[in-house]
């Protein structure tokens, strides 16, 4: 299902046609995931969903402004730390981290979408996660959409 958002003015060099946001375009296979890993920080910070880049081991490389507002953590606090174990330990389970580990081990580009419940000190939040791994860059992308706010 597409989100009806357009970021055509900010699209990557081989980006989506007008009418598709980068996430939906990538999910449809219009934009290579490699283009998403190279989005400039200012573009990532304008996205209306969480956008986290991690290395093959799950160490955070990028963390956008939406994710800061959602989690209460800033990029300087989390970059260089394990997403699955230090920052979001509730994701250190087969249903989340296990999926990512399988993608890394497979060594082929892929995307998985699933619903997940994040557990914060202040309560739980239902989200839609789009997870991808780019073997050529040894990096993954976690796109987190808040379903409770929708």
pLDDT (tens digit, 9 = 90+) per residue, 76-89? Answer: 999 999 999 999 99
The domain of 114 spans 33-146
Whether residue 21 is contained in a domain is answered as: no
Residue 56 and residue 53: Cα distance in Å, rounded?
10
Is 120 part of any domain? yes
How do residues 1-37 score in pLDDT, each as one tens digit? Answer: 445 454 444 444 444 333 445 566 665 554 555 567 7
Is residue 122 in a domain? yes
Residue labelled with tokens 């490699």: 34
Instruction: Residue 18: count other Cβ atoms within 10 Å of its Cβ.
Output: 10
Whether the predicted pLDDT of 48 surpasses 80: yes
Residue 98 is predicted with a pLDDT of: 97
* 3-class state of residue 8 by DSSP: helix
What is the rounded distance in angstroms from the CA atom of residue 113 to the CA atom of residue 39? Answer: 21
Q: Does any domain span residue 12?
A: no
The verdict on residue 134 lying in a domain is yes
Q: How many structural domains comprise the chain? A: 1
Question: Is the per-residue pLDDT at 126 higher than 60?
Answer: yes
What pLDDT, on the 0 to 100 scale, is given for residue 129?
92
Which CATH number belongs to the domain containing residue 50 in this structure? 3.30.450.20
Residues constituting the chain: 150
Provide mean pLDDT across the span 64-70: 90
Instruction: Judge whether 8 lies within some domain.
Output: no
**Portion of the chain with pLDDT greater than 90, in percent:** 44
Instruction: For residue 39, give Cα distances in angstroms to 36, 66, 91, 122.
Output: 5, 15, 25, 31
The pLDDT score that the predictor gives to residue 49 is: 87
Q: Provide φ and ψ at 11, rounded to 5°.
A: -65, 150
- What is the model's pLDDT at position 27? 59
In a domain, 13, yes or no: no
Tell me what percent of the residues of the chain surpass a pLDDT of 70.
75
Name the phi and psi angles at 22, rounded to 5.
Answer: -55, -35
Instruction: In whole angstroms, give the CA distance from residue 49 to residue 25.
Output: 15
- 14 in any annotated domain: no
């Amino acid at each position: 299902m597409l989100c009806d958002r357009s970021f055509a003015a900010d699209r990557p060099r081989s980006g989506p046609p007008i009418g598709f946001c980068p996430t939906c375009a990538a999910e449809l296979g219009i934009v290579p995931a490699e283009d998403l890993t190279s989005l400039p920080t200012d573009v990532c910070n304008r996205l209306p969903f969480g956008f986290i880049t991690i290395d093959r081991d799950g160490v955070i490389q990028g963390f956008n402004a939406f994710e800061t507002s959602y989690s209460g953590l800033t990029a300087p606090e989390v970059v260089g730390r394990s997403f699955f174990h230090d920052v979001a330990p509730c994701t250190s389970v087969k249903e989340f981290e296990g999926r990512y580990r399988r993608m890394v081990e497979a060594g082929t580009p892929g995307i998985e979408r699933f619903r997940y419940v994040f557990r914060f000190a202040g309560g739980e939040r239902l989200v839609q996660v789009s997870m991808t791994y780019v073997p050529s860059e040894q990096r993954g992308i976690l796109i987190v959409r808040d379903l409770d706010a929708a």
